[in-house]
Structure 1
Amino acid sequence: MMNRLTTALCAALWLSVAAAHATVRTETGLAESKPAASETYRLNVPTEKDISTTEVRLIVPAGVTITRFQVMPGFTRTVKKNAAGLITEVIWKGRIGPMEYARFFFSARNPEAATTLSWKVYQTYSDGSVVAWDDSDAQQFPASKTTVK
Structure 2
Amino acid sequence: MSTTRLALRRAATVTALTATSVLVAAGVAAAHVTVHPESYAKGATDGVLTFRVPNEEDTASTTKVQVYLPTDHPVLGVLVSPRDGWTAKVTTSKLKTPVKTDDGTITDAVSEITWTGGKIGAGQFEDFDVAFGQLPEDTDELAFKTLQTYSDGKVVRWIEEAQSGDEEPENPAPTLKLTAAEDAAAASTAPAAKSSAKSAAASADSSDSTARGLGIAGLIVGAIGLAAAAFTFVRTRGARS
* Alignment TM class, shorter chain as reference: 0.7 to 0.9
Q: Deviations over 1:104-125 (max 9, x none)?
A: 1011221123411111111000
Matched, 1:40 2:48: yes
RMSD: 2.0
| Of 84, 89, 95, the match for 2:112 | 89
Shift of 1:128: 1.2
State the partner residue of 1:115: 140
State the partner residue of 2:64: 55
Identity of matched residues, %: 30
State the partner residue of 2:30: 19
| Matching residue's letter, 2:40 | S
Shift of 1:5: 5.3
| Matching residue's letter, 2:138 | A
CA contact (8 A) 1:18 1:140 kept: no
Q: Distance in 2 between matches of 1:35 and 1:42?
A: 17
When structure 1 is superposed on structure 2, of 135-144 and 37-46 the one drifting more is: 135-144
CA contact (8 A) 1:57 1:123 kept: yes
Q: Distance in 2 between matches of 1:144 and 1:111?
A: 17
3-state SS of 2:21 partner: helix
| Of 63, 74, 88, the match for 2:85 | 74
Instruction: Work out which of the two has the higher radius of gyration on C-alpha atoms and give 1 or 2.
Output: 2
| Matching residue's letter, 1:105 | D
When structure 1 is superposed on structure 2, of 114-123 and 3-12 the one drifting more is: 3-12
When normalised by structure 2's length, the TM-score is 0.55
State the partner residue of 2:124: 100
Shift of 1:60: 0.6
Q: Distance in 1 between matches of 2:122 and 2:15?
A: 31
CA 97–5 in structure 1, closer or farther in 2 if over 3 Å, else same: closer
When normalised by structure 1's length, the TM-score is 0.86
| Matching residue's letter, 1:139 | P
Structure 2: stretches of 5+ with no match in the other structure? 1-10, 95-106, 163-167, 180-241
CA 54–66 in structure 1, closer or farther in 2 if over 3 Å, else same: farther
Structure 1: stretches of 5+ with no match in the other structure? none
